[in-house]
A = this chain, B = another copy of it.
């Protein structure tokens, strides 16, 4: 599990780095971004994992979100992986922008030709944290997760499927109920086949119904003018209804005038980092 450093840039007295490694789960080379706050020079830090959305790589969040100052101040290591396996030369992987390359959807595929490489769920859950903990000054017990759009879906399902693993979870404009929206149907159909019980195992709105306790404060920001909200791709109402029924606390903020872009994320990312720091640095 050797790491190759691709770049290193000082930022707010810490370092934004990008590394490449050979992934065992995904059977390809993967890159991830990692921000090491100034505190990482002298002690162990809690970790906050960021999952990006459709079409993104490890670059979008680290160049556009403007999170470095807050991460430096709260002493958090921020890990921003790529969204999908790369360079696998699977037939059709580059045909759509919302399936295949750039659209891993954070599931473990069970169908050909995807099941060999498209194992983003296990990669994010196990392989990447193991790699991060082995190579950086982390406290493995203190870990949280957040993400955007497809990555908001990823953050929610990882937290809901693994009670206790993450101290907190939050999302920007997450795909809340993928089994009910066009993006999710296309992705889950392709990666998981036609058995709907396999789809439900990766759907936040379904998963929350069997979440065992209420020790999870969820923060969601959603732009009210988000084109994908009105297109029925995100379906936060379904998720909120399920949380309400289950008595899981959700702070859902519908932000007037904001869209699906990184300008929206940049505006509220400090609030999210503060939300996570409350649990990670408690």
A178 to chain B, nearest CB (A): 25
User: In the bound complex, do residue B66 and residue A257 qualify as a contact, i.e. CB atoms below 8 Å apart?
Assistant: no
User: In the bound complex, do residue B263 and residue A16 qualify as a contact, i.e. CB atoms below 8 Å apart?
Assistant: yes
A222 to chain B, nearest CB (A): 13
Taking the complex as formed, is A261 at the interface, i.e. its CB lies under 8 A from any CB of chain B?
yes
User: In the bound complex, do residue A68 and residue B267 qualify as a contact, i.e. CB atoms below 8 Å apart?
Assistant: yes
Within A60-75, the residues touching B (CB, 8 Å) are 63-64, 66, 68-69
Bound: A68/B63 CA distance, A? 14
For the residues of A in contact with B, the DSSP-based class is mixed
Q: Residue on B with the closest CB to A67?
A: B66
- A12: chain B residues within 8 A (beta carbon): 266-267
User: In the bound complex, do residue B11 and residue A266 qualify as a contact, i.e. CB atoms below 8 Å apart?
Assistant: yes
- A10: chain B residues within 8 A (beta carbon): 223, 225, 257-259, 263-264, 267
Chain A residues touching B, range: 20 to 34
Q: Contact check: which of B258, B261, B266 meets A68 at CB < 8 Å?
A: B266
Within A1-57, the residues touching B (CB, 8 Å) are 9-13, 16
Taking the complex as formed, is A211 at the interface, i.e. its CB lies under 8 A from any CB of chain B?
no
Name 14 extra pairs, CB < 8 A, besides A13-B267, A68-B263. A9-B259, A9-B261, A10-B225, A10-B259, A10-B267, A11-B264, A11-B266, A16-B263, A63-B64, A63-B262, A66-B66, A66-B68, A68-B266, A69-B267
Residues of A near any B CB (own CB < 8 A): 9-13, 16, 63-64, 66, 68-69, 223, 225, 257-259, 261-264, 266-267
Which 9 pairs show the lowest CB-CB distances between chains A and B? A66-B66, A9-B263, A11-B263, A10-B257, A10-B258, A9-B261, A12-B267, A63-B64, A16-B263
